[in-house]
Each structure stands twice: as structure tokens, then as C-alpha cells.
Amino acid sequence: MKLAVLGAGAWGTALAIRFAEQHQVVLWCRDADQAASMAADHANTRYLPGIPFPANLSVEADFGKAVAGADLVLVVTPLSGLRPTLKALRALDHRAPLLWACKGLEAGTMKFPHQVAEEEMPADVPRGMLSGPSFAQEVARGQPAAVTIASSDPQFARNTVNALNTSVLRLYASDDLIGVEIGAAVKNVLAIAAGICDGLNLGLNARAALLTRGLVEMARFGAAVGAHQETFMGLAGIGDLLLTATGDLSRNRRVGLLLAEGLNLDDVLANLGHVAEGVPAAREVLKQAHALGVDMPITEGVCRVLFENARVPDVISTLMERAPRMENGL
């Protein structure tokens, strides 16, 4: 196939490298100077230094040329870039099947990526999401990983998995699109909480409790919108949560670690140098949870630290002093 990967950050580049093992891949970069640099270097030295591009991977700064003739389009921008990218596709009347790897809820609208796609793309365009436990650097280097492709059209999910599965990136199909999107959004928020926990040296017991109860929050959120509970026991749920909350390559975990050092949010984001989707997602997840009547105390605590300058010890006290309850009740 010919694939167009839209977004030349670390994750978009990693997927382009991996899928170019067996497909012709065009990687679109909106910055013409960066695109020229990558084309000359045959590598993305900004985000993935030292990892060369395969022969089947080319770089293009012209959007129309990048998607021309594509059999499948992968949108791998931050979530804030999903809607404008889809608008650009629709302006070209481009109807190739579509995947996105954007994680979170749209700022200001609380909409999931599939809802954005419903608004911006023709109804007959097959679509879905790619998500799961996968750091870009490891995927680009060819280290083994497994992710999920979810779609409300199970046959599209299965066909895409069969087409894109590689020797080192194993793909699984899912028909629970909303569940996979919830896992992708909430795990980033919980990774910030885990970074704070570890940065304050609260201990392994505390981290285990935090992640376990965080998974309950994820499942509660999912139950409120009809997601499949087994999704949260899979790659896009607990798998991605464990990786993002404990792995040293995690941007969102890094946000928590820096907050634990006493930095304010602006300084944290400046220090990071990359997009951390958990920051905007936290606010939107909590707003959606309130609208649905879903109790998400860890998410609420993260939002208090991020956006209300709450003292971390006060937030921890609030969590620990909650009234005891049955563990297995969602």
C-alpha cells in the first residue's frame, strides 16, 4: 500500500519507519525547512536522532502531494491538530481510509477523536484509532511492541491489522473505539499522578495503589459511555497505563516528576520540549466526568495541581482521607 503519515513528531516518524518495512510511506511535515532537513539527513534528527529512514520512506512538506494516491492515511498530530488536518483532507475530497493516533479529548468541546472525525469527514470514510503501550524511540529502533487498532467497523479494524502488522510491531483489532479512546486519554492523566508520586518518593506501595485505583477511574468513565470493560484489561487500557506511568521515556510521567520538584506548569512545559497530552486531557476528562456524574478523584487531584496551584500534600491528604468504601464497586 501507499501510506500517508501526517505528523513528523517522534510518534509519527516512528510509525512511518516501521510501516515502511513493507509499504511505501510518505511522511508529511508541515515545516518545510524541517522536511528538507529530514529528506537530506534520511532521519528525523530532532526527535529520533541516530535512527535512519528506510528506503521506502519519503518526506513531503506539501500536504496535497503527501496524501495523493494514499491507500491509508494516519493522522499522528497532537489532538489539537486533528480537526484542522481532517478539514484539510476534506477540502481535497480525500476519501481514503483513516486512522488517528491522537490521544485525549478536544480542548473546549470535550469531544473524543471519533466525534471530531464524524463532524469533519464524510460518513463513508472507514476510520479508526491506533493506540497502545508504545514509546516512539523503541518502535523506531525495531524493539518489539504491540498496539491496538480500534474501529466501530470490525472488518475495517481486522483488514487494517492484517495489512500493517510487522515482524516487530504486533497489531490487534478491536471494535471498542470509545473504550480505546478513553484508555488513551485517561492513562496520560494518571501518568502525571504517578510522576508526582515517584517524584515525592512516596514509595512503591503508593504507586501500586494509585495505578490500581486509577484503572478503576478509567473503567468508571468507560462504563458511563458504554465501553467494553475488557478493553481496560488490554493493551489500550492497563498496558498503556503501566508503560506511561512507569517508563522513563514517558512525557506525562516527566510532567509529574517536575511538578514534584516544585516547578509551576509553565516551567514544566517549557522544560519538557515536547507535547504532553495528559495536561490538556486532564481538564477535559474531568469536565466530561462531571457531566456524566462519574467520580474520578485522582483525575480531580491532578487538575487541582495543574490548574489551581494546589499544594501536592493537600491533594494527597484529600485522597487518603476519603471515606472507606467497597473496592469492587464502580
Ligand-binding site membership of 314 (annotated): no
Match 488517528 to its residue by C-alpha cell: 100
The residue among 7, 12, 4, 23 whose CA lies nearest residue 165 is 23
The alpha carbon of 39 is separated from its chain's Cα centroid by a whole number of angstroms, namely 26
Give me the DSSP letters along 51-114.
-BPPTTEEEES-HHHHHTT-SEEEE-S-GGGHHHHHHHHHHTT--S-EEE---S--TTT---HH
Question: Is residue 275 annotated as involved in ligand binding?
Answer: yes
- CA 86 – CA 119 distance, rounded (Å): 9
- 87 has catalytic annotation: no
The response to whether 277 counts as a known ligand-binding position is yes
Cα separation, 294 vs 309, whole angstroms:
24
134 is in an annotated binding site: yes
Catalytic residue among 2, 87, 187, 287: 187
80 marked as binding residue:
no
Asked whether 295 and 220 are in contact (CB, 8 A), the reply is yes
Q: Per the annotation, does 317 bind a ligand?
A: no
Rounded to 10°, the helix 312-320/297-307 angle is 170
- Ligand-binding annotation for 287, yes or no, is no
Neighbours of 324 (CB within 10 A): 5
Q: Sort strands 127-131 and 98-100 into parallel, antiparallel or unpaired.
A: parallel
- Residues β-bridged to residue 52: 43
**Is 40 annotated as belonging to a binding site?**
no
Is the distance from CB of 38 to CB of 29 less than 8 angstroms?
A: yes
The answer to whether 21 is annotated as binding is no
Nearest Cα to Cα of residue 194 among 280, 253, 117 = 253
Q: Where are the beta strands (DSSP E) in 161-262?
A: 169-174
132 is in an annotated binding site: yes
| Alpha-carbon span 62 to 71, nearest angstrom | 18
Nearest to 190 by CA among 175, 174, 159, 212: 212
Feature table: binding site for NADPH: 11, 30, 47, 103, 136, 251, 275, 277
Q: Mind telling me the catalytic residues? A: 187
Binding residues: 11, 30, 47, 103, 132, 134, 136, 187, 240, 250-252, 275, 277
Annotated binding-site residues for sn-glycerol 3-phosphate read 103, 132, 134, 187, 240, 250-252
